[in-house]
Amino acid sequence: MSELARLVEPIRAWLASQARILDLDVDSVSIEPILNWGGFVNRSFRVSAGHRRLFLKLTSYSEKRGLEVWRRVAPRIESRYHGPRMVGWLDLPSRSFSGPLFEWIDGGTPARLDHELAAGISRAVSGLHDDIDLGRQLPGPVRSCAEAYLGSYHDRFSEDLATVAADPPPFVDDALIAWLEGRIRDLEARARESPAFHALADRPVHGDLWLDNVLVDRDGGWYLLDWDGLSLGDPVIDWTMLFGPSRDHPKAATEDIVLTHAPLSRDERDRLAVYAEASQLDWVLDPLADWVQGGQEPEHGARVRLANERIHAQALEAYRERYG
């Protein structure tokens, strides 16, 4: 039995215990796993019961710190920054999983950000970056922008490359692995050596603001999802992700499009150049790691591998066109 299947019955039992609070018709509860395209750390489910539909996001105890930060500030995120409404929290000690329960939102991810949607999201994100009171509620310590880069992109690159090198997909050769290693080292050196990265990364950031975490409902309302990366950080990372690669358009953000919505300082523009290249490289490398890990997912593995091979190829072509 797969891990997803093993979680269903404990979830069902918990929902039954919370039926009155959540206004659920226990006899009609349906629990449907949802593929998480962002990786396999989190497990997502759609819950239907009578007239109610809910969304459940679980993660292992070892990875839940970000979800707990989100839980503490969820009302502020919902009221000010278009976060989804959190209505409960589930702990499954026997399975070492926990996470939040949300109202279900009927909608979908936009194929692209049109000007009106981009402007609305940008206003909310700018407000987030300037929210001093929220910043005081986020865990420290405050790091430099260089440390923020190294603790996000660089660490992820190193981990993903190790995963790929240990069990490379059939379309990956030693030359590509060596090339990836060289690009990772070059970006690391630029972040460590550039004066623009000496500034403090001390402002609230979403931390995972790519297009799949934007949801537009049937009435044109929009939401920003997956706030478990909320932390003190460098605002440039949010702008790079928001206007950067997506599964259907894996190309890095340009300075022109970012500056249309976010007036950046000279140092921020210098950091943007590094983050834009890093985000493009992320879309070259991360699909390879997901391809490897997809072999451990019986429910979605074949689908994940096919999609990630395509995304990797498109992102690699885009990287070489822009950065050589």
What tens digit of pLDDT does each residue of 88-122 get? 999 998 779 999 999 999 999 998 999 999 999 99
* Alpha-carbon gap, residue 22 to 66, rounded angstroms: 24
Tell me what pLDDT residue 2 has: 65
Question: Which residue ranges form the domains of the chain, and what is each CATH number?
Answer: 3-104 (3.30.200.20), 108-323 (3.90.1200.10)
**Distances from the Cα of 51 to the Cαs of 29, 85, 104, in angstroms?**
10, 17, 11
In percent, how much of the chain has pLDDT > 90?
A: 82
Predicted TM-score of the model (pTM): 0.93
Instruction: Name the 3-class secondary structure at 203.
Output: strand
Q: Is the pLDDT confidence value at 39 over 80?
A: no
What tens digit of pLDDT does each residue of 154-201 get? 999 999 999 999 999 999 999 999 999 999 999 999 999 999 999 999
The two three-digit tokens of residue 250, written as one number: 């894996």
**Distances from the Cα of 252 to the Cαs of 68, 157, 233, 243, 316, in angstroms?**
31, 16, 20, 8, 11
Q: Is the pLDDT confidence value at 79 over 60?
A: yes
What average pLDDT does the segment 277-285 reach? 98
- pLDDT band at residue 13 under the 50/70/90 scheme: very high
Question: Length of the chain in residues, anyone?
Answer: 324
What tens digit of pLDDT does each residue of 226-257 get? 999 999 999 999 999 999 999 889 999 999 99
